[in-house]
Amino acid sequence: MLMTASLPHEATVWHTVPIDKAIELLNSDRTQGLTSEEVAERQREFGLNELEETGGRTAFIILLDQFKNVMLIMLIAVAIISGIMDLMDLRAGTVASNDIPFKDTIAILAIVFLNGLLGYMQESRAEKALAALKNLSSPKVRVNRNGKILEIDSKELVPGDIMMLEAGVQIAADGRLLDVANLQVREAALTGEAQAVNKRLNTDLDEDTPLGDRRNTVFQGTEVVNGRGTVLVTNTGMKTEIGKIATMLQSVESEPTPLQQRMDHLSKALVTGALSLVAIVIVGGVIVSGWERLRELVEVSLSMAVAVVPEGLPAVITVTLAIGTQRMVRRHALIRKLPAVETLGSVTTICSDKTGTLTQNKMVVQAIHPPSGSVQLTGQGYVPEGDFLRDGEPITVSNHREIEALMAGCLLCNDAVLQKEEGEWAILGDPTEGALVVAAAKTHIDRHLLTAELERVQEFSFSSERKRMSVIVDTAASKKDEAIAILPTRDHLTPYLLFCKGSPELVLERCDRVLIGERPQPLTDEQRQQIVEQNNQLASKGLRVLGFSYKSLEILPDANEEDQAEQGMVWLGLVDMLDAPRPEVRDAVARCRSAGIRPIMITGDHQLTARAIAEDLGIAEAGDTVITGRELEHMENAELDESVRRVCIYARVAPEHKLRIVQSLQRQGKIVAMTGDGVNDAPALKQADIGIAMGITGTDVSKEASDTVLLDDNFATIVAAVEEGRVVYTNVRRFIKYILGSNIGEVLTIAVSPLLVSGGVPLTPLQILWMNLVTDGLPALALAVEPAEPNVMARPPHDPKESIFARGLGAYMVRIGIVLAIIATSLMVFAYWYTNQPDTVGSPGRWRTMVFTTLCVAQMGHALAIRSNTQLTLELNPLSNPYVIAAVTLTTLLQLALIYVEPLRNFFGTEVLNSTELLICIGFSSLMFVWVELEKIFLRFYFRNKRS
């Protein structure tokens, strides 16, 4: 016997191998299965039939990574230097009695820790996609071992096992079929196809046959919906198709989102600028004043370093994204990862799976084609409501005998059940048969009456070889005229009637007559050719087409006389059906295009079906190229990169193909959203910038690999989510302008203070932290809920590679920072002179509190004015965002508390200001608001004159 070490299961293309050869290669036995010794040996060599997980980052490593941010590193250095200086003061005994040592150090380190914790909480979500795959692939299974049928845990399967399949079983390993009896397998989770696959034993398949067309093999994680079969297990564990998906999932590395990239760029720019200013201040100060003022220069540098870092920005961004998340939930989009909120607004391409995403995942009859002419059906999904239209006009089915007879065939030659569950119509049984039941239910025909009165007495089952199904009903037993009235032979009733449905070509070749009006007539060669051409035309549109016929019988044929019984039938007509598009998707696709977003269909379904749906929805135009997985398989990356620029439809693709398409788009700088619901979509969902899973029909695997889940499985919800993402990014830019403009003003004020006044730094690190966290933070949060601009979905997405400073934001921040610094330094010079007059009551150090107060209150005016770039504050509706008014009021009161509440005053090192000094601060602060409003007026007149 062959040694198990020589088993070729890893390399063999099993769907091309004959059954006997496959059994020989795996050293198995068709009737006895494997022995216990062989099983044990193979488990030692190949391991358990389960998915293996590669190691990821530990929680400690994730937490440690948060402190690699350059801004936090700089703050840590500032805290250490500040602590050293406080320690030197303690040893020298120069600390004031009411001062708290190390408070700056403690405050800075607390902010550093909180920022790190915030980042950790965002990144520490455990990756659960592999766990979901494991749950999907761990059922019980029946096998033949030692000639006995045993039920074992699926993880104990090994290559060479003989596995038994029956309806309802979840397949536990990949395998080659040995026997089938009407076996149908639902492979939608793996291939994306809604239609159950009829399995057969043929081996005339090419090596590169797509997964969805490998009819002689079964795959782990799929489900048997009908029939039974025997399988030779060929691959287990990580070598199965699901195992390959698990390998791809673990090999996909998450890329930073556009917002994360922009924030990283911002951090580096701020730190570089801060260090440059620190060097200039210290070196310049030493050159001008000598080493005597080194301590003062170091204090200035520390304050500048703290001022340049927007400590409150991470928290504001996180809260803003969380607010966006809540708004998206109200629009049926669940965001699993916060940065995905903003990334949605940057999306340039949406790669959508077809089944269940663009379509309803429900087979629906589109039209029927009796000999008298085609009739269209209206209605949605499985709801048994709709009209029969001929030439656009409704018709009454009871007035058309051919249609009535065809509908009777749809109901009687059928095993599916239409039922209402929790207010929703659903199909129990085969989706194709369910579509026929729904079509017939849209007529006046009472199915319960028909099936009760016309008892099925014999059946010739569907098989992959026969490609048709026939039933025989007993008409003699019927006592109800209503049941007889809809039969095609009501005037010449025989004891039995046979109804047949199946492949139009095979049904038609067994017909010699056609039902026209109320009587069968001879079927001419011309009529036969017209039916064949009509069938080919419908199939070329991607429609699933069935042919129907009937035959009158005087006696009941024997069970083995099916071929003879099905000869000489009467042709009833064709019925075409389709997994119909969602009605709202057409508008959603149009909105995508108006917003500059390109939709692409990537599906495992047949290319004709994919083309029909894509053209119907406006994703593609007639004649557009369709690329299949087989063609894509032979493309180099360069050729694929060229193709994805123009191709919008990909059909019959495998999981690795979807992944390559997404990667190709990303190589071209596109921000890609990938939608899907199946296991096969998971690697591409994880690779995409935004993975969007279906909440209702989606597998756990797809949901865990995604960033966003559509709660209503509605493609149109993606458009709503993109709109919210754009609003979020606009508001992020708005409050970044606000926060960093203020920070630049603070830095410049601190930098020039040693040149203008003596007596120390105007702001302590603790006061700066207060401004950056509270004075900046609360209004920034209010700005984060500004409503959407009217044209938010009427413009193309902004360049995903653009800097955070793009489109004038950087220039605005510098300009506002300079204006704020001029206001603050002017106040500082005046306040220093005013508080140091011999006849002035109070401490001469009050000028620092006046500078602190002026900077804080000036930022309140900035917050009020920055709500709009073009409209004056007086022109805005204050109720459109009342949070700004509330935040400005609260922050102003808190600032006054720092001056007039003694414990706060002592902690923050401020001094009491009299009413005159407070009014001076408010007067200087209001200049900030006036400046921003004047800018709007200037720009309004500038652009008006430019247009004229």
Question: Angle at CA 18, nearest 5°, toward 15 and 22?
Answer: 85
Token pair 């603070």 in the structure block, residue: 746
Coil, strand, or helix at residue 76? Answer: helix
- From CA 79, how far away is CA 74, in angstroms rounded? 9
> How far apart, in whole angstroms, are the C-alpha atoms of residue 414 and residue 556?
19
Least Cα distance to 625 among 658, 649, 604 occurs for 649
Q: Which pair of tokens denotes residue 401?
A: 């005998």
In 3D space, the residue among 71, 82, 281 whose CA is nearest the CA of residue 743 turns out to be 71
Cα 918 to Cα 586: distance, rounded to the nearest angstrom: 61
Phi, psi of 63 (to 5 degrees): -65, -40
Q: Where do we find the tokens 């509706």?
A: 877
Quickly tell me which residue has 């402190």 as its tokens: 67
Active site residue 353: yes
User: Which of 353, 430, 605, 707 is the catalytic position?
Assistant: 353
Strand spans (E) along 510-659: 511-516, 519-522, 544-553, 569-581, 598-602, 626-628, 649-651
With beta carbons less than 8 A apart as the criterion, state whether 635 and 643 touch: yes
Contact present, 641 and 668 (Cβ < 8 Å): yes
DSSP string spanning 442-454? Answer: TSS--HHHHHHHS
| Positive or negative torsion for Cα 17, 627, 589, 613 | negative
The sign of the CA dihedral 217, 220, 225, 230 is positive
* Cβ 686 vs Cβ 363: under 8 Å: no
Which residue matches tokens 């069935």?
546
Instruction: Name the residue type at position 393.
Output: E
In angstroms, the Cα distances linking 374 to 47, 366, 367, 380, 544 are 58, 11, 7, 19, 16
What is the spatial distance between Cα 699 and Cα 706, in angstroms, rounded to a whole number? 11
Total Cβ atoms within 10 A of residue 637: 11
Instruction: Please answer whether residues 16 and 201 qualify as being in contact, where contact means their C-beta atoms are separated by less than 8 angstroms.
Output: no
**What is the spatial distance between Cα 259 and Cα 160, in angstroms, rounded to a whole number?**
51
Q: Are 408 and 450 in contact (CB under 8 A)?
A: yes
Report the C-alpha gap between 577 and 367 in whole angstroms. 7
Distance, CA of 834 to CA of 847 (rounded, Å): 8
Positions annotated as catalytic residues are 353
